[in-house]
């Protein structure tokens, strides 16, 4: 379910990000709170030094993916649905991605209070056991304001079999294409509900009937030749037929629809230097699997067993064995900074290492400088940022070490300049905690 990459020495992408830092002042991130003082960019000396070190490598950055039709639907829903009460109150608004600590006795020493999510429709903070129910409630409540968007989200979210969803959606799109291509032919405006194709591909999908009714189809009993009694049909209304462009828009929305999934909250925290940095007391949320998660794990193991019968190299077999050992859904990662402070965040076990680089970079005062992240074995994670955390042995928790790109720092030092002494952004240091 995942989704900026930092880089170390020898990483073209990291060098490119560093080069952009001295060419152009970094942009403010939209989800960060207002700072008390304007942020200072790198000095001229630092820019020149970084240029000397970074101009050696030139690589194109991948373009950011534009918003999909489903993104537009979700934005509309956010505006129309009332925001629900959140667990952490103002902590989410502050941009720290924090949730309230649990109040139960004996839970104060947990490394994280649990696993929490944000509902993409309402912005509410949800516990792990709440997310599916609350998302379904949000979708259903939207039928009163935009039944087309709500029915599309219901089709893609309530039905878990993605292959069946695709087959049903493609079939509905074919019905609408026939109407668009043959507007004068009455037969294309009628869909027999007992039709075998309709029953096997569409009737089984939750939300499909709501979609037909939302775009202008009406259930009607019609006579059938050579048959005694009438049968039930969907018949397109004259009002909907008069606006064929709307049918095309709804068809594209349906085809581009995506499941509405809760967003994992990173629960970013900053701790003072501590000898307990490598100790993790994790809550049950990091170990317990829901029914859906258990089914997904079983499916992945079955697929792995099938692939074992194929001829593969030793490296490929080892990688498959690592993927088989999927005991955890989440992982808690800490990064030890050069000043000893610790940056902590929650991730999916199958997220890519690139997600951690992005998470760290967002917290840095000098986010234009390249850096490296080292695992406990000394391995540089930047060597393959497409690996998942569970493939790197970084589950269910891990402590990593941060270091600046030494080539860049040496050139900056030679130029008589140095990066800001503060590593993390000031607003994060204001919320620094003691690790207990």
Tokens of 239: 């009002």
The pLDDT score that the predictor gives to residue 416 is 75
Sequence-separated (6 or more) residues with CB below 8 Å from residue 397: 111, 280, 282, 286, 331, 332, 333, 334
The pLDDT score that the predictor gives to residue 296 is 73
C-alpha 212/C-alpha 190 separation (Å) is 11
Using one digit for the tens of pLDDT, what is the confidence trace for 254-278? 999 999 999 999 999 999 999 999 9
Query: How would you write the pLDDT of the chain (436 residues) with one tens digit per residue?
Result: 433 333 333 444 444 444 444 444 444 444 444 444 444 555 555 555 555 544 443 343 444 444 554 555 556 555 544 444 343 343 433 344 555 444 443 445 789 999 999 999 999 999 999 999 999 999 999 999 999 999 999 999 999 999 999 999 999 999 999 999 998 899 999 999 999 999 999 999 999 999 999 999 999 999 988 888 899 999 999 999 999 999 999 999 999 999 999 999 999 999 999 999 999 999 888 876 666 766 777 677 666 666 655 555 666 666 665 554 557 889 999 999 999 999 999 999 999 999 999 999 999 998 888 899 999 877 888 777 889 998 888 999 999 999 988 887 787 777 777 666 679 999 999 999 999 8
Domain 269-283+328-431 sits in CATH at 3.10.20.90
Tokens of 51: 């240029």
The pLDDT score that the predictor gives to residue 415 is 76
Sequence-separated (6 or more) residues with CB below 8 Å from residue 261: 1, 120, 135, 157
The pLDDT score that the predictor gives to residue 378 is 78
The pLDDT score that the predictor gives to residue 311 is 55
The pLDDT score that the predictor gives to residue 422 is 78
C-alpha 123/C-alpha 352 separation (Å) is 25
**Strands, sheet with 217-222, edge to edge from the N-terminal-most edge strand:** 190-192, 231-236, 217-222
Choose among 267, 318, 327: nearest CA to 293. Answer: 327
C-alpha 29/C-alpha 362 separation (Å) is 8
Task: Give me the residue spans of the domains in the chain.
Answer: 116-256, 269-283+328-431, 289-325
Choose among 205, 207, 175, 210: nearest CA to 191. Answer: 175
Q: What is the 3-state secondary structure (H, E, C) of the chain?
A: CCCCCCCCCCCHHHHHHHHHHHHCCCCCCCCCCCCCCCCCCCCHHHHHHHHHHHCCCCCCCCCCCCCCHHHHHHHHHHHHCCCCCCCCCHHHHCCCCCCCCCCCCCCCCCCCCCCEEECCCCCCEEECCCHHHHHHHHHHHHHHCCHHHHHHHHHHHHCCCHHHHHHHHHHHHHHHHHHHHCCCCHHHHEEECCCHHHHHHHCCCCCHHHHHHHCCEEEEEECCCCCCCCEEEEEECHHHHCCHHHHHHHHHHHHCCCCCCCEECCCCEEECCCCCCCCCCCCHHHCCCCHHHHHHHHHHHHHHHHHHCCCCCHHHHHHHHHHHCCCCCEEEEEEECCCCCEEEEEEECCCEHHHHHHHHHHHECCCCCCEEEECCCCCEHHHHCCCEHHHCCCCCEEEEEEEECHHHHHHHHHCCCCCCCCCECHHHHCCCECCC
Using one digit for the tens of pLDDT, what is the confidence trace for 145-204? 999 999 999 999 999 999 999 999 999 999 999 999 998 899 999 999 999 999 999 999
* Neighbouring C-beta atoms of residue 206, cutoff 10 Å: 14
CATH 3.30.530.20 fits domain 116-256: no
C-alpha 29/C-alpha 293 separation (Å) is 33
The pLDDT score that the predictor gives to residue 425 is 94
* Angle, CA 74 vertex, CA 264 and CA 66 arms, to 5°: 85
Tokens of 338: 């050069």
Q: Which residues pair with 264 in a beta bridge?
A: 117
Structure pTM?
0.69
Choose among 325, 393, 405: nearest CA to 361. Answer: 405
């Amino acid at each position: 379910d995942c989704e900026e990459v930092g880089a170390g020495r020898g990483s073209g992408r990291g060098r490119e990000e560093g080069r952009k830092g001295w060419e152009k002042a970094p942009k403010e991130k939209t989800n960060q709170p207002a700072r008390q003082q304007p942020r200072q960019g790198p000095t001229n000396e630092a820019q020149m030094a970084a240029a000397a070190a970074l101009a050696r490598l030139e690589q194109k950055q991948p373009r950011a993916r534009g918003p999909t039709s489903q993104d537009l639907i979700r934005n509309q829903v956010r505006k129309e649905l009332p925001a629900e009460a959140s667990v952490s109150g103002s902590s989410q608004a502050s941009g720290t991605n924090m949730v309230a600590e649990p109040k139960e006795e004996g839970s104060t020493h947990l490394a994280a209070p649990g696993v929490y999510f944000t509902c993409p429709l309402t912005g509410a903070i949800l516990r792990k056991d709440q997310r599916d129910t609350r998302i379904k409630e949000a979708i259903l409540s939207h039928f009163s304001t935009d039944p087309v968007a709500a029915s599309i989200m219901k089709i893609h979210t309530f039905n878990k079999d993605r292959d069946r969803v695709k087959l049903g959606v493609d079939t509905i799109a074919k019905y609408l294409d026939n109407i668009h291509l043959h507007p004068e032919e009455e037969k294309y405006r009628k869909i027999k509900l007992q039709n075998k194709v309709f029953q096997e591909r569409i009737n089984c999908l939750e939300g499909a009937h709501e979609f037909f009714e939302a775009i202008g189809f009406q259930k009607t009993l019609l006579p059938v030749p050579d048959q005694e009694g009438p049968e039930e049909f969907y018949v397109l209304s004259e009002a909907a037929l008069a606006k064929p462009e709307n049918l095309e828009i709804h068809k594209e929305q349906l085809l581009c629809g995506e499941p509405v999934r809760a967003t994992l909250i990173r629960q970013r925290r900053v701790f003072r230097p501590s000898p307990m940095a490598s100790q993790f007391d994790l809550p049950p949320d990091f170990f317990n699997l829901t029914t859906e998660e258990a089914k997904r794990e079983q499916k992945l193991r079955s697929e792995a067993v099938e692939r074992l019968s194929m001829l593969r190299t030793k490296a490929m077999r080892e990688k498959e064995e690592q993927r088989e050992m999927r005991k955890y859904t989440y992982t808690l990662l800490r990064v030890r900074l050069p000043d000893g402070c610790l940056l902590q965040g929650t991730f999916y076990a199958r997220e890519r290492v690139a997600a951690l680089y992005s998470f760290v970079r967002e917290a840095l005062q000098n986010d234009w400088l390249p850096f490296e992240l080292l695992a406990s074995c000394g391995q540089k994670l930047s060597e393959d940022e497409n690996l998942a955390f569970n493939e790197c042995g970084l589950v269910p928790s891990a402590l990593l070490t941060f270091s600046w790109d030494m080539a860049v720092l040496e050139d900056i030092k030679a130029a008589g300049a140095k990066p800001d002494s503060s590593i993390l952004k000031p607003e994060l240091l204001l919320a620094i905690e003691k690790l207990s």
